[in-house]
Structure formats: C-alpha cells, structure tokens
A and B are shown apart, each in its own frame.
Chain A
Amino acid sequence: GEDVEQSLFLSVREGDSSVINCTYTDSSSTYLYWYKQEPGAGLQLLTYIFSNMDMKQDQRLTVLLNKKDKHLSLRIADTQTGDSAIYFCAEHGAPYGGATNKLIFGTGTLLAVQP
C-alpha cells in the first residue's frame, strides 16, 4: 500500500545543519516533494525533485534521492530559528481512474531549532 514514513521530531542548534529523512513506497513516482508547515498555517511547497535526479540544491536546501532504497532527505544548512516548522515529504498517489494530482504525505517531522 501507499505509505510515506518520517521520523517525528528533530532538534538542532541554530547554525547547525538539519537532515530530515523520508522513506516512500511508490517507485514509479516521478516527482517527490517537501512541504513546510509553519505554526497555525497550511502547508507550503518548499522544494521538489524529479525522479531521474540524485540531488537538487536550492540555496540552503539540498534534496537527496536514493531510488534504490526509496529514501529521500532534506538538508537545511545553517539552520535558523525561522526554520522551526513541520516538514512533510510527499509522493504521488496511485492513479485513480486515470490522471491524478493526489499526493501521499508523510507523517511530518517537527523541526525545533534551539537558539
């Protein structure tokens, strides 16, 4: 079945690097996503990676994809207190009656940044 798993909590000190891990199930998923949820708000797309890539870098963010192990990670360099949030990875759900925009979200990882 479709299941995306993440560790629930990560605590880091300001200035350190954070690494949030995710395992997914659908090897046919063409895109994989990271969403960020700040307190009291909805989710926002943070970054994504196409499945034929191993790595994608975007300023302080680095996404690593290991397709063999179905493992996705998000590294945040020089973590700031403003990065404190819940981070969700997501893959596409199985097509239902044709095309789909359904995403399967992970359990979310709460990142706490200590000053």
Chain B
Amino acid sequence: DAGVIQSPRHEVTEMGQEVTLRCKPISGHDYLFWYRQTMMRGLELLIYFNNNVPIDDSGMPEDRFSAKMPNASFSTLKIQPSEPRDSAVYFCASSSPGRAAPSSYTEQFFGPGTRLTVL
C-alpha cells in the first residue's frame, strides 16, 4: 500500500491567491482528517470526514478555508484568498476503526504533509 498521498509536497504562493491541497487516503479507510502544524500553535485538527461526509469542522479557522471529499479516494482543502499567516505544514490522515464503538482503538495514518508558504 502506498499510504496516504498528498500533493503538492511544497507550495509557495503570493498573498491573495487560491491554494488547493490534495489528499488520497488509504484504500478502505472511511475516516479522513485534515491537520495544520505550526511552531506557534502545534498540531491543529481542522476538519474530519466519515464516509465522505464532514463530521466536525469546528477547527476550520475561517470562511477562507473549505474542504471537500467528493468520493472515498480524494479530498481537497482550499484556501481562498490565502494570507501569510496560513503558512504551515498541512497534513492529511486516514483511519478505519476496528469496531464501531466510540473511542475504540484507532490508528491514524498520516501523509507526508504539504508545506505551504504564503508570501
């Protein structure tokens, strides 16, 4: 298995431009997570999906951020317009619970991340 795939690995853009980050989860996983990592704020959960449906988007910073999951094998995180404070590493992760019970054992598999720099 190729693991979680993210593209691009690096993105440099200018303030005001639209940025689209892409993620392909591990086949068969029904949960997908988007995280943002910065030195100041650590690792933040932005949004997660279950069976392509957004479950919790309370971590999305503001309306400039949007995420979609049109099918089980693809998700995008879009920032429009981008700002310098959006500069961070964005991770996608996927998981598949062994049991349906809440808080049962789960392992999240992370992609390599996209390093975004907004000038």
Contacts and interface: CB of A to CB of B under 8 A. Distances in A.
B112 A95 contact: no
B93 interface: yes
Contacts of B112: 40-42
Contacts of A42: 4, 91, 93, 110-113
Contact of A102 (B42, B56, B104): B56
Contacts of B97: 99, 101
A30 B97 CA distance: 14
Contact of B42 (A30, A97, A98, A108): A108
A45 B107 contact: yes
Interface in A14-73: 28-31, 40-45, 48, 50
Interface of A is mostly: loop
Contact of B91 (A43, A95, A101): A43
A97 B48 CA distance: 13
Contacts of A107: 42
Contacts of A105: 42-43, 45
Contact of B105 (A31, A41, A88): A31
A111 B48 CA distance: 29
A41 B108 CA distance: 14
Interface size class of A (residues with CB under 8 A): 20 to 34
Given A96-B56, A108-B43, A101 B100 contact: no
B101 to A, nearest CB: 7
The winner among B4, B55, B106 for most chain A CB atoms within 10 A is B106
26 contacts: A30-B103, A30-B105, A31-B104, A31-B106, A40-B112, A41-B112, A41-B113, A42-B93, A43-B91, A43-B110, A44-B110, A45-B107, A45-B108, A88-B43, A92-B103, A95-B102, A99-B102, A100-B55, A100-B103, A101-B97, A102-B33, A102-B48, A103-B108, A105-B42, A105-B43, A108-B42
Interface of B: 4, 31, 33, 42-43, 45, 48, 50, 55-56, 91, 93, 95, 97, 100-108, 110-113
